[in-house]
Amino acid sequence: MKWSDWSLTLAMLLLSACGLQTDVRLRKMPDSSMEPTIRKQEVVREDFSHFAKQSVKRLDIVVVKDPGRTQQTLIKRVLALPGETVRVVDYRTYVNGKALDEPYVSLSSSAPLTPLLRVADFGPLTVPAGEYFLLADNRIDSYDSRLWKKSTLKSQEILALVQASSN
C-alpha cells in the first residue's frame, strides 16, 4: 500500500471510531476478473455516494449486486448504456455497431479457468431503459452480463463507483 492508501485507511478508521459515517469503503479485490486493471487482492475504494450525485457512464468500474446471490457483490465495468445495442464478437465489444477501444481487456488468467466462463460471443442485445450491460476486463475469466440470467442490471443495482488504490 502507498502512503496515500494508509492515510485514507487511517482517516476512515478515525471517522468510524468517532461514530461518523462514511460512504467510502476499502476492500480487497476478491478475484482476477478485473485484471489487469485491478489485480486480485488489490485494495480498491468503493464510493457509495457517487451515483447519488452523478449518473453512470460508460467505462465506470462499479460495485453491483450479484444477480445470482442476494448478499454478494461484484466489481465490473459498464460498457453499454440504456437504449444501446451491444454485441461481443471474439471477446471484442461492439456498441451500436462500433468496436470499443478497450486497451484494458485481458484474455489471459492466472487462475485455473472455468470453461463455463469462456463466452467469446454474445448478442446482439438492446439494453432496456434504466439498465446497463457490464463486463469484466478479464474476458475469459469472469461472471458478468454475458452469463447472467437477465443480461442487464437496473440502475438501482449499481451500488458504488470503484477506484483502484493505485489510481
- Residues contacting residue 52 through CB under 8 Å, at least 6 positions apart: none
Residue 52 in this model has a pLDDT that exceeds 60 = yes
pLDDT at 120: 84
Confidence of residue 12 (pLDDT cuts 50, 70, 90): low
Tens of pLDDT, residues 87-132: 999 999 999 999 999 999 988 766 555 666 678 899 999 999 999 9
**The pLDDT of residue 38:** 93
* Three cell numbers written together for 124: 446482439
Q: Is the pLDDT of residue 8 over 70?
A: no
46 in Cβ contact with 76 (< 8 Å): no
More confident residue, 140 or 123: 123
CA distance 158 to 68: 15
Asked if residue 29 lies in contact with residue 38, where contact means CB atoms within 8 angstroms, the answer is yes
pTM of the model: 0.82
- Overall average pLDDT of the 10-16 stretch: 53
Q: Please list the active-site residues.
A: 33, 76
Question: Per-residue b/e over 43-55, b at no fewer than 16 CB within 10 Å?
Answer: bbbbbeebbeeee
Q: Which is more confidently placed, 114 or 44? A: 44
Percent of the chain topping pLDDT 70: 78
Work out the pLDDT band at 67, boundaries 50, 70, 90. confident
Task: Judge if the upstream peptide bond of residue 67 is cis by omega within 30 degrees of 0.
Answer: no
CATH number of 24-164: 2.10.109.10
- The Cα–Cα gap between 87 and 9 comes to 40
Beta bridge partners of 28: 43
**What residue spans define the domains of the chain?**
24-164
